[in-house]
Amino acid sequence: MHRLTVLYRHLSSNLVVKPGFLRINQQLGGGLKQIKLEKASSEAMESKVECRYDNIIKSAEDNRLYRGLLLKNGMKILIISDSTTEKAAAAMDVHIGSLSDPWNLPGLAHFLEHMLFLGTKKYPSENAYMQYLSEHGGSSNAFTSGQHTNYYFDVGCEHFEGALDRFAQFFLCPLLNEEVSEREVNAVDQENTRNVKQDNWRLFQLQKSTSKKNHVYTKFNAGNKNTLQTIPLQEGVNVREELLNFHSKYYSSNIMALAILGKDSLDTMESMIVDLFGSVENKSVEIPVWLEHPYGEEQVQVEYNVVPVKDLRQLNISFAIPDMSEHYKSKPSHYLGHLVGHEGVGSLLSELKSQGWVNMLYGGEKAGAKGFSFFTVTVDLSEEGLDHVEDIITHIFQYLNMLHKECPQEWIHKECQDLDNMRFQFKDKERPSSYVMMTVANLHEYPFTEVLSADYTMSEYRPDLITMILGLLTPDKARISVVSKSFEGKTENVEKWYGTEYNVKKVPADVIQKWQNAGLNPKFSLPARNDFIPTDFSIVPNEEGSPAFPTLIKDTPMSKVWHKQDDTFLLPKACYFIDITSPLSYLDPLHTNLTRLFTVLVKDALNEYAYAAEIAGIGYSLDSTYYGLYLNISGYNDKQDILLKKVLEKLTNLQIDVKRFEVLKEMYSRMLKNFSAEQPHQHAVYYTTVLMSELAWTKDELSNSMEEVTVERLKAFIPQLLSRLHVEALFYGNLSKQRALEVVDMIENELKNTCSTKPLLASQLVKRREIQLPDGCYFQYRKCNDVHDSSGIEMYYQVGLQETENNMLLELLCQIISEPCFDTLRTQEQLGYIVFSGVRRSNGVQGFRVIIQSNKPPSYLDCRVEAFLAQMKELIINMKDEEFERQVSALVVKRSVKPKKLTTQCRKYWSEIISGQYHFDRDSVEIACLKTITKDNLIDFFNKYIDANASQRHKISVHVKPTVTADEPDSSENMTDKPVDGIVLTEPVVVTDVTYFKSGLSLFPRPASYIDSLAPAKSKL
């Protein structure tokens, strides 16, 4: 279920949660004129181009055209022409990051990343770049890691040149305005505050901080107000000068890589950029390499005991290995990660699980920087596992000993190679901005011809390198870290930047000796050959005149089945999305917990088996929901049904392993409790949901009922749960209607034969509803967050039931407000790092919302948002017609973007099914409506629902404040709610009792189904 794939320099999609990646997080919306650039003459272009590469290896399904360019100034560029794209995109990767920060200015590279967004000599206005993008349907972001700073954006195709011109100025002539930097340092500071109490960031920094003294790896990457303002001020360091110095020293064309994707031809795009980016100066910067490893003698044979913020228990063992990136053709650490992280029969995880010590394991290479790397194994620990840390490590070395004895094996390398080849050949398309963002750094690493394929290549088999790495994974070279609340109050050290409490001790020589003599364990063996690897990649021919949208192909009291054969992606893949409804699943907190544990146990029991399918690209997920169970199967369609059958067998015939039950129950209980340590803005969002939905068990209610959860209760409950069900499913992808019907039969037969399942009554399928706020109301709900020092707020202005015109008015309002909201509340007022505005939709009801996380009190934020909305009214009223039209067009661009992946398309259809609206053609209907909306319509809408005096204003604010402790008088002073200049808020009605609040209010109906789903489909059956 979990493993760490080898992290070469390619970046995974979950950058937001990955520690070490600092990003500028923003929303867009806003007004400037498009500029027309003069095309460079061809001679001028030739003078700037050193070399072209038109032979870039791509997968067979890929219709895009590629060209590599090496400019005379050393910049590497990848041009991608895609005639079908709705948006153009660009990404610039500067091969320099936080590890190159000056020692006296931690966070400078990251700070510079923020500052480049805020004005250049050619476009001095602070929001010129973001406003331009927002007005043309675009968005932007950037991130800083140890060795890279990556900037990217997307925009409507017609405005690519204008956007590129603004973008290029980042690298030519940034302003780095002093006054702006004094403000923006607050955003960096708040970004750090957001991370400070997050365990993944704390553990990452602790590993860094405890590395070899004075090694660059020990640096603090994020920066805060202290490191970037207060201390420099005291020491007479001019931060603006240092920002300029850093830019002029390192932002050199020869360590920059650019990737662009657009609709135009390669030649046209080449002419757009060559002059612009050919003008970036080459300062002949060498990409830094650190051959000395951050782990020296003092860093190994040691054990760190670390106190977490959340109630986590974790064991990590890590080893120094050299940088393996030059061996990308053989990927020896991928080979080893594949085995150490394996979850099938004979694997390390399987054995540790059967001992009751762990639930999850991640193993593999963890990239360091150029010159050094790590190999790590991380497991979570059960309560019992915490008492068996030494034994677990013994098992890890026994497993590694087995690898020594049995490896290298060429067939395993071959299997990995085949799987990677397959992943490359049948790759899903990415959104343009993600595609350029993820591909651009490869230009630094691989020859031009291989920039797309290198991450998937394992063309060389190098047993010598596998043996070399394996030889480094020995007890005398291990660094161990154990994370547990049990160390609380027993530690002596505090990490400098995050305040993490920890102890460090030498591992006794006799323990090292014991691990060295661990020997072999008969439980461990190499994995069997993977039978799930697909062999049939044929595409099922589409019938002529097949419907454009999912159609109902079966409708009985037991099941309702939708099908659409894919005619867009034409990949050998399919998705089955299956909702299994039971009114018992969310009956009360106890039953909700039982249903959840049921799914957790089924997945746990299936893990050894399903892991092989997962690595072969056939995945499944099973979860408990508001209405029952949700099961999905995705990936290659070949062999999907084998997996589905096995999942159904487990689901209908689970034998509960009591030991696993206890371990998983404890883990789930902890997860419920750990919710209290989530971010303040997440709490605000969560409580808004609790307040607005008809029925929602809170985390506390669920947690409190965990005592009642026993094996006996669960055993008694499962047959009840499965005795009466309704199935609604969507089959989408490379499969015919006939095939879909056969799969449904299989599902129904399994349920009927094993559990004697009967259908539910139609009245048991009614969906839950949303609370209707009364006209003119202003409710406020207040909570405290015990862990974080920031406050969080969600302000929600409920508009009403989803309906075409209102949907578009609301989305257009959000489109217009989004960029100024970010500019005013974040860039100008610096309320916080997280400032979001947009649409909230739930149970068919929608409204406008603003979410902020800040070091200011919630009531202050509430006032500032109200002041901002008053400005917005003026802005809309005074908006010129052509600007209004631009905003409409920008939203049209955004809404016209088609899903790039089969699963994304499937999820889009699925959301129509589970909402009961079945509005499969929503985009074209809503875009047509959007084009008819006038400025007056929008003003009326604002005056009706959002304006301070609106007759139908329905406002609710959730205020989350930090818990004030007695010994911190300063923070209590900071967070006191005080009235704010000029803005007088109407007195809120404070919600103290959620049940009482809800019982006094009406419920909305559910929105009507957009199509009469039964009548036309029945006639086809």
| CB nearer Zn ion, residue 225 or residue 423 | 225
| CB nearer Zn ion, residue 115 or residue 755 | 115
Closest contact distance (angstroms) between CB of 110 and Zn ion is: 6
Kindly indicate which of the ranges 22-30, 358-366, 382-390, 464-472 contains the residues binding Zn ion, using the contact rule CB under 5 A: 22-30
| CB nearer Zn ion, residue 24 or residue 684 | 24
| CB nearer Zn ion, residue 338 or residue 826 | 826
Q: What single-letter amino acid sits at 13?
A: S
Residue 289 CB-density burial (10 A; 0-12 exposed, 13-18 middle, 19+ buried): exposed
Residue 446, both tokens:
């691989």
Q: What single-letter amino acid sits at 846?
A: Q
Kindly indicate which of the ranges 55-63, 184-192, 249-257, 320-328 contains the residues binding Zn ion, using the contact rule CB under 5 A: 184-192
Residue 812, both tokens:
């257009």
| CB nearer Zn ion, residue 170 or residue 562 | 170
**Cβ atoms 792, 681 nearer than 8 A:** yes
Give CA–CA dist 514/733, Å, rounded: 54
Annotated active-site residue 912? The verdict is: no
Kindly indicate which of the ranges 188-196, 266-274, 710-718, 762-770 contains the residues binding Zn ion, using the contact rule CB under 5 A: 188-196
Contact letters (x/-) for Zn ion, 139-178, by CB under 5 A?
----------------------------------------
Residue number with the smallest Cβ distance to Zn ion:
22
Closest contact distance (angstroms) between CB of 310 and Zn ion is: 23
| CB nearer Zn ion, residue 24 or residue 960 | 24
Chain position carrying tokens 């739930």: 842
Closest contact distance (angstroms) between CB of 184 and Zn ion is: 10
With a CB cutoff of 8 Å and minimum separation 6, the contacts of 65 are 80, 81, 82, 265, 266
Torsion sign across C-alpha atoms 535, 536, 538, 539: negative
Can you give the C-alpha Rg of the chain in angstroms? 29
Give CA–CA dist 781/787, Å, rounded: 19
| CB nearer Zn ion, residue 110 or residue 864 | 110
Contact letters (x/-) for Zn ion, 340-379, by CB under 5 A?
----------------------------------------
Closest contact distance (angstroms) between CB of 24 and Zn ion is: 5
Chain position carrying tokens 């249903």: 595
Residue 1021 CB-density burial (10 A; 0-12 exposed, 13-18 middle, 19+ buried): exposed
Site for Zn ion in 242-281 (CB under 5 A): none
The per-type count for the chain, helices as H runs and strands as E runs, is 35, 30
Closest by alpha carbon to 726, among 552, 911, 560, 912? 560
Kindly indicate which of the ranges 21-29, 431-439, 477-485, 490-498 contains the residues binding Zn ion, using the contact rule CB under 5 A: 21-29
Kindly indicate which of the ranges 16-24, 476-484, 884-892, 905-913 contains the residues binding Zn ion, using the contact rule CB under 5 A: 16-24
**Cβ atoms 186, 216 nearer than 8 A:** no
| CB nearer Zn ion, residue 24 or residue 443 | 24
Closest contact distance (angstroms) between CB of 190 and Zn ion is: 9
| CB nearer Zn ion, residue 191 or residue 862 | 191
| CB nearer Zn ion, residue 191 or residue 275 | 191
Closest contact distance (angstroms) between CB of 140 and Zn ion is: 13
Marked catalytic residue, from 43, 86, 113, 794: 113
Give CA–CA dist 740/729, Å, rounded: 10
**The one among 22, 69, 812, 938 contacting Zn ion by CB under 5 A:** 22
| CB nearer Zn ion, residue 190 or residue 347 | 190
Long-range contacts of 935-943 (CB under 8 A, 24+ apart): 935/876, 935/879, 935/881, 935/884, 937/809, 938/809, 938/812, 938/813, 938/816, 938/876, 938/884, 939/876, 939/877, 941/806, 941/809, 941/810, 941/813, 942/813, 942/872, 942/873, 942/876, 943/873
| CB nearer Zn ion, residue 660 or residue 826 | 826
Helices (H), 640-679: 640-652, 658-674
Alpha carbon distances (Å) from 982 to 108, 820, 863: 37, 20, 9
By CB under 5 A, residue 189 contacts Zn ion: no
> What DSSP letter does each residue of 161-221 carry, written as one string?
HHHHHHHHHHHH-B---HHHHHHHHHHHHHHHHHHHT-HHHHHHHHHHHTSSTT-GGG---
Closest contact distance (angstroms) between CB of 195 and Zn ion is: 10
Supply φ then ψ for residue 100, to 5 degrees.
-95, 5
Closest contact distance (angstroms) between CB of 194 and Zn ion is: 10
**The one among 86, 191, 303, 794 contacting Zn ion by CB under 5 A:** 191
Closest contact distance (angstroms) between CB of 246 and Zn ion is: 15
Closest contact distance (angstroms) between CB of 552 and Zn ion is: 47
Kindly indicate which of the ranges 24-32, 382-390, 579-587, 979-987 contains the residues binding Zn ion, using the contact rule CB under 5 A: 24-32
Q: Are strands 724-733 and 559-565 parallel, antiparallel or unpaired?
A: parallel
Helix H or strand E segment including 81: strand 76-81
Closest contact distance (angstroms) between CB of 291 and Zn ion is: 30
What is the SS3 assignment for 733? strand
Closest by alpha carbon to 902, among 541, 548, 540, 429? 429
Alpha carbon distances (Å) from 186 to 82, 240, 700, 880, 971: 40, 15, 34, 34, 17
Give CA–CA dist 525/347, Å, rounded: 7
Supply φ then ψ for residue 149, to 5 degrees.
-130, 120
Closest contact distance (angstroms) between CB of 149 and Zn ion is: 11
Q: Are strands 149-156 and 559-565 parallel, antiparallel or unpaired?
A: unpaired
Alpha carbon distances (Å) from 511 to 301, 401, 518: 10, 17, 10
CB atoms inside a 10 Å sphere around CB 254: 18
Active centre residues (catalytic)? 113
Question: Which residues of the chain form contacts with Zn ion (CB under 5 A)?
Answer: 22, 24, 191
